[in-house]
C-alpha cells in the first residue's frame, strides 16, 4: 500500500508541536509494516542547512493557482531517511519567510499553494498513492482539490483521510480571499463545505466535508469535538459527518524515549532496574536544579507550553497548597508571560522546593521524566497528549484531567483492586486537581509498595507507534476500492 502524508511540519526538519512528531513517526512505523510512505512538506527557509544539503532536485514546473489564472513555480527537492521519502515543495515566494507560520493573512495563500502543489507533484513524479493522508487545516484543501481539479488525473484515484490534531486552528478567512487564492469553484463556498459565516470561509471545514474519512488523535477527542464545549464552532458539522469520524491514539518514538538507552540520564534503567535507578536520577535532578537533595521527597514535574489550554491556571491556583515540606515542584516550559512570571515568583518564594525553568531544554525534559515521581497534565482539552505517554515510559506516574487522549491512555488508580496507571480528575476545577495530587501523595508516602508496582506497570505499557500504525493500516484498507 502506498500512502502520501501531507502536512505543514515534520520532525526533524521543522517542528512546532505534536503534529511534527506524528508526521515523522507514523510513516516510519508503516514502512516497517511493508507500506510505501512519502511525506510532502514545504521547503521552509528555517529548515536547517544540514538537511537541505542532502536534498536532491527532482524537477520543477509551473502551476496555475488563483482564480485569475496566476501561475507559480513548483520545485521538488527530495530526501530519503529510514525508508521514508520526503518531498519538499520549493517556492521562495511562499516559504522563504522564516518560521512555518507567519500570520493568517499570509498563511492562507501559502497553504492553498501547498495543498494544490502536493497533489501536482505526485502526478509529476508518477507516484500515485492509494491514500492521501492530510493533517490539520494547512492541508485542509487537499480533499477538495483531489475531487475537483485533480479528479480526472492519475492522483484522483487516491482516497483521502484528514486527521484533526487540534480543532482550535481551522484556517478561517474572508470568503473572497480564499476564493481568489484557492481558485476553487464558487459552488464550494456554501455552508455544507467551505462557508463559515456570511463573510468568512473555513479551509478545515471544507476538507472535513470532502474527505473519505476523518480521524482525530484519540477516541475521546472524537466524541468531544461533536459537542459545543469542544467543537470550536464545528460540532454540528462534525455530528453530520460522524459516520466517517473515528479516533486513533498517537504513540511515541520508543527509540528516542528509551530510559534504558537514554544518554541524557544520570542512570539508565529498564523495568527491572527502575526502582534502584530512579532515586539516582531524582538526586541528579535535585542537584542540577538547586532543589534540596532529599530522596524521600516527592517530585511533581510539569513539562508544557505555559498556556490556558494546558491547565496552568489550575496549577497556579493550588501550587502554594503543594508546599508541605515533603513535596517539590519542577516546571519546564515557556508561554504566556503571566504564567512564566507566576512560576518565577513561586520559585523565588519557595527556593529549594520549587524550580521554574522558563525555557525549553530537551536534555532537562529527559531528566525530569526520569527524576520526577509524578507528572502533571491537567489540560483544559488535550486531543492526544504525549507527555503522559513519555512519563509512563520512564516510570513516572501521570496525574491528568479526564479529557481527550489523557482519558484514553491513563486508567485511574483503583485503591480496592490495586489497578490503574495514574491519577485523574474529571471537571475542570483546581480543587479536583489538588484532590488527585493528594491521592497520589497518599499512595506514594503510605503505600510505597503499591506505588512501585504501578511504576513497573507503566513501564510495561505499550505506548509505541506500532499499535497505532496497525489501526491506521486497517483504516486505509477499509477504503480500498
* Cross-sheet strand order for the sheet of 2-6: 56-64, 71-81, 84-90, 36-42, 2-6, 131-135, 159-164, 213-216, 245-247
Output the pTM of the full model. 0.92
SS3 (DSSP) at 167: coil
Question: Exposed/middle/buried for 325, CB within 10 Å: 0-12, 13-18, 19+?
Answer: exposed
pLDDT tens, residue by residue, 81-106: 999 999 999 999 999 987 899 888 89
Cell of 150: 485533480
Short-list 119, 185, 132, CA closest to 160: 132
Short-list 56, 55, 54, 74, CA closest to 64: 74
Percent of the chain residues past pLDDT 90, beyond the cut = 96
Which string of DSSP letters, residue by residue, matches 200-218?
Answer: EEEHHHHHHHH-SEEEESS
**Separation CA 1–CA 470 (nearest Å):** 13
Instruction: State the average pLDDT over residues 410-416.
Output: 97
Looking at residue 137, the DSSP 8-state letter turns out to be G
Please report the domains of the chain, with CATH numbers, ordered by start residue: 2-251+466-478 (3.40.50.2000), 274-463 (3.40.50.2000)
Contacts 24+ apart (CB under 8 A), 349-352: 350/323, 351/290, 352/290, 352/291, 352/292
Instruction: State the average pLDDT over residues 197-214.
Output: 98
pLDDT tens, residue by residue, 151-203: 999 999 999 999 999 999 999 999 999 999 999 999 999 999 999 999 999 99
pLDDT band at residue 18, thresholds of 50, 70 and 90? confident
**Separation CA 357–CA 47 (nearest Å):** 27
The answer to whether the beta carbons of residues 328 and 353 sit under 8 Å apart is yes
**pLDDT given at position 481:** 64
**Separation CA 112–CA 224 (nearest Å):** 29
Amino acid at each position: 500500500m502506498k500512502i502520501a502524508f501531507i502536512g505543514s511540519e515534520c520532525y526533524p526538519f521543522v517542528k512546532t508541536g505534536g503534529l511534527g512528531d506524528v508526521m515523522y513517526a507514523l510513516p516510519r512505523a508503516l514502512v516497517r509494516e511493508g507500506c510505501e510512505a512519502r511525506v510532502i512538506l514545504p521547503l521552509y527557509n528555517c529548515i536547517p542547512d544540514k538537511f537541505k544539503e542532502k536534498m536532491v532536485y527532482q524537477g520543477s514546473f509551473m502551476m496555475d493557482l488563483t482564480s485569475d489564472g496566476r501561475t507559480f513555480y513548483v520545485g521538488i527537492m527530495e530526501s530519503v531517511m529510514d525508508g521514508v521519502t520526503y518531498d519538499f515543495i520549493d517556492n521562495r515566494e511562499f516559504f522563504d519567510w522564516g518560521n512555518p507560520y507567519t500570520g493568517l493573512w499570509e498563511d492562507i495563500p501559502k497553504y492553498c499553494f501547498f495543498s494544490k502543489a502536493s497533489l501536482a507533484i505526485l502526478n509529476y513524479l508518477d507516484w500515485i498513492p492509494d491514500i492521501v493522508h492530510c493533517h490539520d487545516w494547512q492541508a485542509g484543501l487537499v480533499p477538495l482539490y483531489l475531487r475537483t481539479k485533480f479528479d480526472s488525473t492519475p492522483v484522483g484515484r487516491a482516497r483521502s483521510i484528514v486527521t484533526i490534531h487540534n480543532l482550535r486552528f481551522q484556517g478561517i478567512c474572508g470568503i473572497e480571499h480564499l476564493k481568489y487564492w484557492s481558485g476553487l469553484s464558487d459552488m464550494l463556498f456554501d455552508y455544507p463545505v467551505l462557508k463559515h459565516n456570511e463573510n468568512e470561509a473555513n479551509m478545515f471545514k471544507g476538507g472535513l466535508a470532502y474527505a473519505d474519512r476523518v480521524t482525530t488523535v484519540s477516541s475521546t477527542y472524537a466524541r468531544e469535538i461533536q459537542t459545543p464545549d469542544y467543537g470550536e464552532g464545528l460540532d454540528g458539522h462534525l455530528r453530520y459527518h460522524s459516520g466517517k469520524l473515528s479516533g486513533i491514539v498517537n504513540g511515541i518514538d520508543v527509540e528516542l524515549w528509551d530510559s534504558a538507552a537514554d544518554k541524557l540520564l544520570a542512570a539508565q534503567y529498564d523495568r527491572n532496574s527502575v526502582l534502584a535507578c530512579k532515586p539516582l536520577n531524582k538526586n541528579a535532578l535535585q542537584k542540577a536544579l538547586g532543589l534540596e537533595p532529599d530522596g524521600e521527597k516527592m517530585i511533581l514535574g510539569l513539562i508544557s507550553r505555559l498556556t490556558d489550554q494546558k491547565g496552568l491556571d489550575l496549577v497556579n491556583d493550588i501550587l502554594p497548597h503543594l508546599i508541605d515540606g515533603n513535596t517539590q515542584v519542577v516546571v519546564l516550559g515557556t508561554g504566556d508571560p503571566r504564567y512564566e512570571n507566576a512560576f518565577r515568583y513561586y520559585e523565588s518564594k519557595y527556593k529549594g522546593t520549587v524550580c521554574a525553568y522558563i525555557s525549553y531544554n530537551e536534555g532537562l525534559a529527559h531528566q525530569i521524566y526520569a527524576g520526577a515521581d509524578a507528572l502533571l497534565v491537567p489540560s483544559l482539552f488535550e486531543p492526544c497528549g504525549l507527555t503522559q505517554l513519555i512519563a509512563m515510559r520512564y516510570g513516572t506516574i501521570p496525574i491528568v484531567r479526564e479529557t481527550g487522549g489523557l482519558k484514553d491512555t491513563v486508567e485511574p488508580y483503583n485503591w480496592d483492586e490495586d489497578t490503574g496507571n495514574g491519577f485523574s480528575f474529571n471537571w475542570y476545577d483546581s480543587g479536583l486537581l489538588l484532590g488527585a495530587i493528594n491521592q497520589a501523595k497518599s499512595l506514594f508516602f503510605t503505600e510505597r509498595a503499591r506505588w512501585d508496582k504501578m511504576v513497573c506497570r507503566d513501564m510495561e505499557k505499550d505506548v509505541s507507534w506500532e499499535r497505532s500504525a496497525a489501526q491506521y493500516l486497517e483504516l486505509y484498507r477499509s477504503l480500498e476500492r
